[in-house]
Every structure is written in C-alpha cells, then in structure tokens.
Amino acid sequence: MPDRRSFLALAAAAPAGLLPGAARAQAPAEDPRMAERVVGRAEAPVQVIEYFSLTCGHCAAFHRDTWPRVKRDLVETGRMRMVLRDFPLDQLALLAAAVARSLPAERYEPFISTLFATQDRWAFARNANPQEELFRLAALAGMDRATFDATIADATLQRAILERRVQGQQQHNVNSTPTFVFGSRSVPGNLPFDRFAALVAETR
C-alpha cells in the first residue's frame, strides 16, 4: 500500500478522469454501490453532508461521541437527514469504503459505525493484518469471503470512490476530515452536539 502522503497526492492532484490503475469507473447510475448513502427522511427540511475517512481518528470520535445523539435528536425526529460521503485519506480507508459500499444499503451506516468503533482493531493494531481484520468485521455484517476478496480487488469501484473524493474537494472545498456541509457552508472538524445542532438550526 502507498503511504498516506503518496495517496493524498494521487487523490488530490489527479484529474478525476486520469486516476491510474483501473478501467474507467461506471457512472453512479449504473452501479448501485455508488448510490448516495443517506440516514433520515427524504422530506427532512435540512440536509447535512458528512465527508469522512474510515481511518480518521477525529471522524471516529464524532461517530462515537456525537453521531448517536445527532441521529436520535435530529435525524429520527425529522429535523435533518445526513448524507454520508467517503473521503478516504489512505489506501486502507479506500478499501474499507469499498467494502462498506458493497454491503446492502441498509447495513452501510451500522457497518461504518462499527468500523469507527473498532479502528484500533483493524486500522491501527500492531502486528495485525488490517485486511484480515477488516474481513472479520465484514463477515459479521454478512459478507462472504469471495465477495470480500472481489471487492478489495475491484479497482473500478475504488476509482469511483476516489472520483467522488475529488468532487468533494471541488464542490465543497473539503481538504480534511470530518467536514460537514450545512447548505452552502463547509465546516471542518469533530463538532460537538451543541455546535452541530446550532448549525442545523441556522441552515435553511
């Protein structure tokens, strides 16, 4: 796997149509794995976008400490909906994003929450094989070995995820994770609940 600096240089600098190492990705409409992953009601008055990397400690802290309350008090009450978008910061985060997107859509958010809760086990554990640890978690979510192996070898899917990452940089000026988009306003950082709720209230 390339180091994080090399990965970031590739993902940030390469035009979306020139990312190497794969055939051209299918358009999102042709690949259900690239469909938008959303938590909340379609008619919610406020939409918030979260850009995250599955190997980002700040993202993990948000999903551990703040997301459960956001989900309970703001999403499930119909005040907002959350759009979850991948912004991988390294190759392992890219593989994890591909695995998450290859699960049934209803398992996506619970699975990424599990990945954030277990980062020390699969992303940062010493003397461990991160792909094998990732497979163990994917298996608990219902993914068989053949599907997992095919997914981590699927350069087309990984390229599509990287193209979406480039779009996030271009459309919302995302350059770190987590970054939240409230309307036209991009706010980086691990936001506490009160700050997050205040930004939702200000968004129309």
Q: Please give the Cα distance from 134 to 132 (Å, whole number).
A: 5
Domain ranges of the chain: 98-175
The amino acid at 53: S
**CB-facing half-sphere around the CA of 109: CA atoms within 13 A:** 15
Residue 128's pLDDT is what? 86
First and final C-alpha spacing in the chain: 42
Instruction: Please state whether beta strands 46-52 and 179-182 pair in parallel, antiparallel, or not at all (unpaired).
Output: antiparallel
**pLDDT tens digits in sequence order for the chain, 204 residues long:** 445 554 555 555 444 443 444 334 444 457 999 999 999 999 999 999 999 999 999 999 999 999 999 999 999 999 999 999 999 999 999 999 999 999 999 999 999 999 999 999 999 988 889 999 999 999 999 999 999 999 999 999 999 999 999 999 999 999 999 999 999 999 999 999 999 999 999 997
Q: Residue 78 in contact with residue 41, Cβ under 8 Å?
A: yes
Angle at 40 between CA 52 and CA 85, to 5 degrees: 20
Dihedral in degrees, nearest 10, Cα atoms 169, 194, 82, 111: 100
| Predicted TM-score of the model (pTM) | 0.87
SS3 92: helix
